[in-house]
Amino acid sequence: MNRILSASFVSILALAATARADEVTLKNGDRLTGTLVEITKDNLILKTEYAGDVKVARGSVASIKTDAPVTVVLADGTRFERKLEPADSGTVKFADMPDAPAIDSVALDKIGAVNPPAKETKWEGAIALGATFTRGNTRNNRVNASLDAVRRTDIDRLTLDAGWVYASSRAKGENKDTTTERNVFGAAKYDYFFTEKIFGYLQNRVEGDSFKSLELRYTAGAGAGYQWIEDADLKFYTEGGLSYFYEKFKDEPSNDFVAARLAYRVDWKPFDWLTAIHNFEWYPSLEDKDDQFIRTDFTLRVPIAGHLSAEASALYSWDNTPATGDKRLDEKYLLGVGYTF
């Protein structure tokens, strides 16, 4: 009798376990049970007790049912947690949840991913240093340093950018160096992702340049952006918003205004030995059409050994209303050795 009861109890547990299993129905009528691990661009992965992880081509899946909520990311970037329920072939139905709006069923090919792996939280970028010294008939010194760093998680991104350049020279027969270049800047931008593609941002930047008569330029603003591409070898996003723009030139009154901000960034790795980074920002004043400022830069990075790399950068800025007597366009070209991380 005890054996019969034990056998019955084991059977009930087995049936309960089966009842709780996720279920995938294929277009040929086959049914697979287990735990849904992930749905990627090309495959569905199901963990089973009888065959371990089973990989199924997405195109062969007719319907999916899960007994627990899974993370769903639609093709347009919308993300939410829901149970999947049986539906017509080729579609997915989402179970209702208390205090949450209903979500209409969608075609399977409209799902970008299910249970995507979390992005590894780490900093990526480089610190670069460059220097030139000449002695003899001429005496020149030039030192530059820069930082470009990005930290990305599933829901946000922090970007830090900074640079410093100093140069001096000494005329023949003189005994004192004269500063010929001195500028510095620092910037930070925080992005929060509402969906996989759409994000809001907060940004600010401060800079000064002695030889452009620029005592201080400060911008701070907010807006929204769209992440068009975010692959291992190519990242591209655009942004638009409003900014406060402040500028103070030496011996001139300060100028501040509200400006629009349009920007984009491209990180491209066309080869294992080359990384290209391009940034662009445009600040057209909303108060005076003559007040416009554009900043853009290009950086090429080539690995040398380990974390060491060689860098070449070109930086351009256009101020439509510069200090009296100064040119609108400034160009800067930098070479250096960097530490990538």
pLDDT tens for each residue of 285-324: 999 999 999 999 999 999 999 999 999 999 999 999 998 8
pLDDT tens for each residue of 57-86: 999 999 999 999 999 988 877 889 999 998
Q: Name the average pLDDT for the chain.
A: 89
Tell me the whole-structure pTM to 2 decimals: 0.70
Nearest CA among 135, 190, 156, 130 for reference residue 332: 130
d(CA 31, CA 124): 44
Handedness of CA 307, 308, 314, 315 (dihedral sign): positive
Q: Are 129 and 337 in contact (CB under 8 A)?
A: yes
Distance of CA 237 to the CA centre of its chain: 8
d(CA 42, CA 284): 44
Distance of CA 256 to the CA centre of its chain: 30
Identify which of 3-7, 113-117, 227-231 has the greatest average pLDDT.
227-231
Domains and CATH numbers, the chain: 2-114 (no CATH), 122-340 (2.40.160.40)
Is residue 108 scored above 60 in pLDDT? Answer: yes
Is residue 277 scored above 50 in pLDDT? Answer: yes
pLDDT tens for each residue of 191-211: 999 988 999 999 999 999 987
